[in-house]
Amino acid sequence: MNEILFIIGDVPVRAGAALIAFGALALILLATIAIVIARSGRKNAAMAMAQAIRADEMEERLSEVLRIQNEAAGRVHEMGQALVGRQAEMARAVNERLDSVTHRVGQSMEQTTRNTMDSLRVLHERLGIIDSAHKNLTDLTTQVTTLRDVLANKQARGAFGQARMEAIVQDGMPKGSYEFQHTLSNNRRPDCVIFLPDQRPLCIDAKFPLEAVTALRDARSDEDRKYAAQRLRQDVMKHVSDIADKYLITGETQDTALMFVPSESVYAEIHDGFDDVVQKAYRARIVLVSPSLLMLAIQVMQQILKDARMRDAADQIRTEVMNMSDDLARLRERVLKLQNHFGQVNEDVRQILISADKIEKRAGRIEELDFSGETAEAAPARPELFAMPSRKLQAGE
């Protein structure tokens, strides 16, 4: 019993102590089990009591449900009787309503038929208009297709831009102030030149590269648009460089040349999205112009030519003004002479009027046979041979 079984720390555990400890543990375990069994018995009894109470409650509820079911059955029977009566009333009301609705539907169908016929007539007229518009649209589509075919071909597109540019120049500039396909000293031939007052031509190029613009508009993805924008920058700058190299000759041409863009929408798109290209072209002394801007430039150049012609004719104008002054002086002298003549005529007319007054007075005296009022001035002296006695005629002589 005193045999050491194991050592915990520095304390040896002997066999007797171990048996005592195990016995105590067994007693504690048995006591715990007894307590648990007692508690479980009390719980089972309580649960049985609760189940009995619940069973009573269920019976009471079941009886209540049966009572309610009987009452519901009676009410359902009463409702069935009421529904039969109401169904008869409803059938009568429905029949009346159906008769009224049938009458109204008949009238409505008649009115609808008339309205439908009117609508069909109007629709037929509009279909005729639509057919005419469709025909016009077909013709327009054919024209647009033709225009697209023209713009798809590079040479045809160049001819189209050249034709628009020539029409604008011919409408705005006088003959002799411009020339198409003029040959420069380097054997280059710009599409058009305009001769300014210093006789140095202003060159206009009408061959704008539109392939990159078309590719940019047809791009679907960001990568395609980026590639098309880069291509547009390259094509436009190459064309700007070609114009500067070919048509800007120091001392022969103007310091600036015009690049004609034959479409307002393309010009606006370049200005909105490619401002760097426009600025580089300005620095290269190449100005991009749309049809409206070219018209404006033509009007400005026309006014410049007109002012130059006026300056050139300034000496002739001065000479003509001096001649006009001499003519005005001679005209003044002649007017004065004419005034003197008019004065003499007025005097002669006054004398004539005086003589006419005297003749009128003398006629009056002759009519009255009264010559006593004659004066020496009125009756000049006559020769004695024709002298007659002065006396008043008597009546009857």
Write out the two tokens for 151.
């713009």
Instruction: Name beta bridge partners: 236.
Output: none
Instruction: Name beta bridge partners: 12.
Output: 7
**Radius of gyration, alpha carbons of the chain:** 65
Least confident of 58-72, 91-105, 220-234, 371-385: 371-385
What is the residue whose two structure tokens read 């004719």?
Answer: 313
Long-range pairs, 82-88, Cβ under 8 A, ≥24: none
The residue among 156 and 335 whose pLDDT is bigger is 335
Single out the residue of 168, 190, 187 nearest to residue 179, CA to CA: 190
182 φ, ψ (degrees, to nearest 5): -75, 140
Write out the two tokens for 106.
């008949």
Say whether 29 sits in a helix, a strand or coil.
Answer: helix
- pLDDT given for residue 23 in this prediction: 76
The percentage of the chain sitting over the pLDDT mark of 90, rounded to a whole number, equals 0
The conformational region for residue 396 under phi > 0 = left, psi -120 to 50 = alpha, else beta, is left
- pLDDT given for residue 372 in this prediction: 59
The residue among 241 and 149 whose pLDDT is bigger is 241
Instruction: Name beta bridge partners: 237.
Output: none
Write out the two tokens for 62.
């079941």
State the helix-helix crossing angle for 154-172 and 15-152, rounded to 10 degrees: 60
The Cα–Cα gap between 360 and 123 comes to 97
Q: Give the strand pairing for 257-260 and 201-205.
A: parallel
- pLDDT given for residue 10 in this prediction: 67
Contact by Cβ (8 Å): 237, 286: no
Q: Which tens digits make up the pLDDT trace of 59-87?
A: 888 888 888 888 888 888 888 788 888 88
pLDDT band at 155 (very low <50, low <70, confident <90, very high): low
Q: How many whole angstroms from its chain centre is CA 232?
A: 27
Q: Which tens digits make up the pLDDT trace of 118-140?
A: 888 888 888 888 878 877 777 76
Residues 6+ apart with CB under 8 A from 362: 378
Instruction: Name beta bridge partners: 260.
Output: 289
Q: Which tens digits make up the pLDDT trace of 330-382?
A: 888 888 888 888 888 888 888 888 888 888 888 877 877 665 554 444 444 44
pTM: 0.43
Instruction: Name beta bridge partners: 14.
Output: 4
- pLDDT given for residue 380 in this prediction: 47
